[in-house]
């Protein structure tokens, strides 16, 4: 069986992590859409998840583009300066 090759496309960096809410503030350098699979990688961080909730200024959005700062619900702890990648392929 041939496995599809997954690639990581860098789409942003974590500016802040709110522990009580499990939310990161993400500065986007690429586009992001609800349903995308992302991977967050840092010195002590490495996990994947599907994007299920995204907001700008407390308003729910479906998609955001490079240059935006978005709030993103995360399943595990992330840290400032962790890199965020979109999993493609």
Q: Is residue 54 part of a domain?
A: yes
Q: Is residue 39 part of a domain?
A: yes
How far is residue 22's CA from residue 26's CA, in Å, rounded to a whole number? 13
pLDDT at 8: 97
Q: Is residue 28 part of a domain?
A: yes
Q: Is residue 83 part of a domain?
A: yes
Q: Is residue 35 part of a domain?
A: yes
Tens digits of per-residue pLDDT, 20-72? 999 999 999 999 999 999 999 999 999 999 999 999 999 999 999 999 999 99
Number of structural domains, the chain?
Answer: 1
- For 68, the domain range is 7-88
Query: CATH number of the domain that 26 lies in?
Result: 2.40.30.10
Q: Is residue 1 part of a domain?
A: no
Kindly report which listed range (12-16, 40-44, 62-66, 85-89) carries the lowest average pLDDT score: 85-89
| Residue 4: pLDDT over 90 | no
Q: Is residue 82 part of a domain?
A: yes
Is pTM beyond 0.85? Reply is: yes
pLDDT at 14: 98
């Amino acid at each position: 069986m041939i496995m599809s090759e997954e690639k990581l496309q860098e789409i942003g960096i974590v500016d802040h992590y709110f522990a009580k809410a499990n939310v990161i503030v993400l500065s986007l350098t690429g586009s992001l859409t609800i349903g995308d699979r992302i991977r967050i990688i840092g010195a002590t961080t490495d996990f994947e998840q599907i994007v299920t909730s995204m907001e700008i200024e407390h308003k729910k959005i479906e998609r955001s583009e490079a240059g935006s700062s978005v709030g993103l619900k995360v399943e595990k702890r992330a840290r400032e300066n962790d890199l965020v990648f979109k999993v493609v392929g």
